[in-house]
Amino acid sequence: MNEQHSLLELKGLTKFFGVNKVLDDVDLVINDGEFLTLLGPSGCGKTTLLRLIAGFERPTSGKILMNGKEISHLPPNRRFVNTIFQQYALFPHMNVFDNVAFGLVMKGIEDEVIEQEVFKALEKVKMSQFYARFPSELSSGQQQRVAMARAFINNPKILLLDEPLSALDYKLRQEMQIELKELQKDLGLTFVYVTHDQEEALSMSDRVVVLNEGMIEQVGSPIQIYEEPKNMFVAKFVGEINVFDGMVLKVDDSNFDTVVEGMFYQLRKPKAFEVSRGSKIKVLLRPEDMVVSKVNSAEMDAPENALRGVINHLVYKGRTIDLWIQTAGGNMIMATQFFNEDDPDIIYAVDDVVNVSWIKDWEVILPDA
């Protein structure tokens, strides 16, 4: 990416619908040229945030600045922002050409230029041969492409996308994810993308904003969001995660001792907060960070740093196998194991007794709220 320069600034944005507080004091900087995703469960305020940027709603309080100038009071037709709607919202009484041309016609550009630009835009989304069709004669994937062309032809500073792929089937969604990302790079546009699909958010974005109940839980790169969740909400919302309760026994310079499910562990001190003796913590681990090994009958006790459990359920996924392991402490652990041709242990069955540990230092420590 180019050097980071902030394009849009949201300052203390708050939005009420009646007595419902939908957005609560949101501060956010959107950089020029980045692919930013607003991720959260339904009702978290992500769509409202998008509509505030588009100008369809006015904030109850707070400011929206574009290149330092306040735009909160401007109507949508006077902002340099375009939206791709969830259901595309193509004009049903106009053909593809007229739909895509609409923004330029509104600007009063001459017909010849419009024609060139429209075909250029349709070319980009591979829809030029359909220019005379009406929206009702297009598949949803084609409508999606037209909606994209109709928006970016206006050369907006920011393109807002409101769950644009949610109406497509799985395979098409995968293809369109790649196409959207390519298009974004190609156009060099800033994308603000709303989704509730965490996989989509992680695979497409430069930065992800996790929203919950009108507040920002975490802003960061997909790797940061996945590997270093700041709180329990982010940890649980993004991907699968195992959560263990722990109690701090002893703290030294870089490590601390804790007990998890009756086992002693020495873990690295977290940077984000101070652990103190006697405080309760959560130890978080992704399923793919778990290490599972079968227990030989000869072996009596679990080795150090390993929990003993029984396989409760397993799902074969081709490249990986997902195991649900019931521990002696009553936790259900999910573990994803990658196949290794040389490892005979990979063949698991329900009711197998296993040892479970994790790759050291890959755990995330959060305070127990």
* Least distance to other proteins, CB of residue 239, Å: 31
Interface residue list for other proteins (CB under 8 A)? 54-56, 75-77, 81-83, 85-87, 89-93, 102-103, 106-107, 134-136, 143, 150-151, 154
Secondary structure of the chain in the HEC alphabet?
A: CCCCCEEEEEEEEEEEECCEEEEEEEEEEEECCCEEEEECCCCCCHHHHHHHHHCCCCCCEEEEEECCEECCCCCHHHCCEEEECCCCCCCCCCCHHHHHHHHHHHCCCCHHHHHHHHHHHHHHCCCHHHCCCCHHHCCHHHHHHHHHHHHHCCCCCEEEEECCCCCCCHHHHHHHHHHHHHHHHHHCCEEEEEECCHHHHHHHCCEEEEEECCEEEEEECHHHHHHCCCCHHHHHHCCCCEEEEEEEEEECCCEEEEEECCEEEEEECCCCCCCCCCCEEEEEECHHHEEEEECCCCCCCCCCCCEEEEEEEEEECCCEEEEEEEECCCCEEEEEEECCCCCHHHCCCCCCEEEEEECCCCCEEEECC
Q: Closer CB to other proteins, residue 87 or residue 312? A: 87
Q: Closer CB to other proteins, residue 152 or residue 348? A: 152
* Least distance to other proteins, CB of residue 305, Å: 55
* Least distance to other proteins, CB of residue 33, Å: 21
* Least distance to other proteins, CB of residue 14, Å: 22
Q: Closer CB to other proteins, residue 168 or residue 260? A: 168
* Least distance to other proteins, CB of residue 135, Å: 5
Q: Closer CB to other proteins, residue 83 or residue 184? A: 83
* Least distance to other proteins, CB of residue 122, Å: 16
Q: Closer CB to other proteins, residue 61 or residue 87? A: 87
